Amino acid sequence: MKTTKESRPPRKPATPGSLGLPTASALVIGSVIGTGVFGIPAALAMFGPISLVAFALVTVGALALAVVFGRLAARIPGSGGPYLYARDAFGDFAGFINGWSYWVTAWAGNAAIVVALTGYVEVFVNTDHNIGWSIVIATIGLWIPVLINVVGIRTLGAAQVIFTILKVVPLVFIALVGLFFIKAENFGAFNSSGTDGWSAIAGAGAIALFAYLGIETASVAAGRVRNPKKNIARATVWGTVICAVIYILGTFAVFGTVSNQALRTSTAPFSDAANAMFGGDLGGQIIAVAAIVSGLGCLVGWTFIVGEMPNAAAKDGMFPRAFARERRGLPIFGILASTILATLLTVLAYTNFSNVFTTVLLLTVFTSVIPYMFSAAAQVFWLVTHRRQTSWPHFAKDVTIAGVALAFTFWALAGTGAQAAYYGVFCFLLGIPLYIWLRASKKNGYGAESPAPLSSTLSVGAPNAAPDAIASNAATDAPELEQIS
């Protein structure tokens, strides 16, 4: 049934213009560079140096996705990110499924981050890795960022900038200085996975993709960013480029300074690399502190994002109303509910999986690829249906980039493996009863009917403006978008 603007549930706008370009860039870098970069060299060790090839391919795909998110955010400068884009292009159900999948990704990802963070805390305490104490450390690690978030959006922004600086400096140091301590024998066999080359690259690529989760965070928080049409694209692309350089050089340095056999069982590979370079334990302890700071900084950003996306969806009637609750400009209910779920998953992972980090990591990658896939598809859909609004050179370039991003998501999905696919599909299906309940609830007064399409209800200045609302600006937007591609 066609709906009208009046049938939409009232929307409370996000806190406007709280985040500038530096803070938005820090949000991207801070959310992307977490403890994953500190733990991923160990997870990739089973594949050998061939995983560096996978990392390079994943970087190309991540950059294509970054450009896609920049393009989409310029047309739809509202909070919600992948949820918003899928809903506008493909309807309510697609929007809900993407919002649901992204939300699962965010809190499951927080569990993976805190598991890696705990490994670095255990450089100093619980060195025998007692599971009970590991769970206690991980739980504390999940809830400290919640306390930082509840203070308010401006404090969150300042904290994110500080954490980003503190985490990037030691990573750059190891990535550059480590190049002078590389020994060829540490790399081991080029492909040590026991499978053929393409299978090894696909498997390693799925793990490497986890390192780039978060490139879309600026678009998720777009409703809170100043001048989002320009700043989201710039923050997303440049943030991804900075992360890519650090990742590839850092992983290469660790592979070359720690033997492959030792790396496979390492819980703190960057600390082991520092110890191998400088001897003793001091270098490793410094890196461990940096990893802890990095993990906390990453969790601060993701704790905000894990509440922001369902907050935007709830205001559209696509998530339970409770997620629309805010305190001091922050989506407080979503933050608390999501952190509780992340805590439960962390406990489950420690008590049921032998390789905790890799298991949770692959589940997170599987659930994240679905929103990425729909976002790339939404970009292709917009380009095809609005072909006459862009020049042929811009159209050809954007379609190529979106096509690369879309193909990349299919490849990444195939590499996650059967176990991750099983748990991922299970999480995916759990969302369908919620969608049915939301649709039924609308008949009892919550939104009355499905919200009208974004393009028919929102304007450029609205928190979740849609492509059609600013289609007339497409020609003037193209030169601005060119600057970041």
Specify whether the CB–CB gap between 301 and 25 falls below 8 A. Answer: no
* Confidence band of 18 (pLDDT split at 50, 70, 90): low
Number of C-alpha atoms within 13 angstroms, CB side, residue 298?
34
**Predicted pLDDT of residue 293:** 85
Specify whether the CB–CB gap between 472 and 466 falls below 8 A: no
Tell me which range, 175-179, 348-352, 385-389, 413-417, is most confidently predicted by mean pLDDT: 175-179
61: confidence class by pLDDT, cuts 50, 70, 90: very high
**Which residue type sits at 84?**
L
Query: Using CA atoms, how far apart are residues 480 and 205, in angstroms rounded to an integer?
Result: 32
pLDDT of the residue at 183: 93
Domain 19-482 has CATH 1.20.1740.10: yes
Find where tokens 């050179």 sit. Answer: 393
pLDDT of residue 156: 66
Percent of the chain having pLDDT more than 90?
Answer: 23
Backbone angles phi, psi at 357, to 5 degrees: -60, -50
pLDDT band at 174 (very low <50, low <70, confident <90, very high): confident
**What CA–CA distance (Å, rounded) separates 376 from 354?**
35
Taking 60 as the threshold, does the pLDDT of residue 178 lie above it? Answer: yes
Six-digit token string for 448: 């009355």
- Structure-token pair, residue 417: 């493996």
Per-residue pLDDT reduced to its tens digit, 112-123: 788 878 888 988
Q: How many residues does the chain have?
A: 485
Q: What is the CA radius of gyration of the chain?
A: 22
Exposure of 51 in the CB half-sphere (CA atoms within 13 A): 30
How remote is the C-alpha of 376 from its chain's centroid? 15
Segment 390-416 shows an average pLDDT of 88
Largest Cα span, the chain: 70
Q: How far is CA 272 from CA 171, 195, 279, 336, 452, in A?
A: 13, 27, 10, 35, 55
Residue with tokens 């600390």: 271
CA distance 279 to 182: 14
pTM of the model: 0.74
What confidence score (pLDDT) does residue 252 get?
A: 93
Q: What is the DSSP string of 83-151?
A: HHHHHHHH-HHHHHHHHHHHHHHHHHHHHHHHHHHHHHHTTTS-TT--HHHHHHHHHHHHHHHHHHHHT
Cα of first residue to Cα of last residue in the chain, in angstroms, is 40
β-pair partners for 225: 19
The mean pLDDT of 228-245, rounded to a whole number, is: 86
Name the pLDDT band for 357 (thresholds 50, 70, 90): low
| pLDDT score for 26 | 81
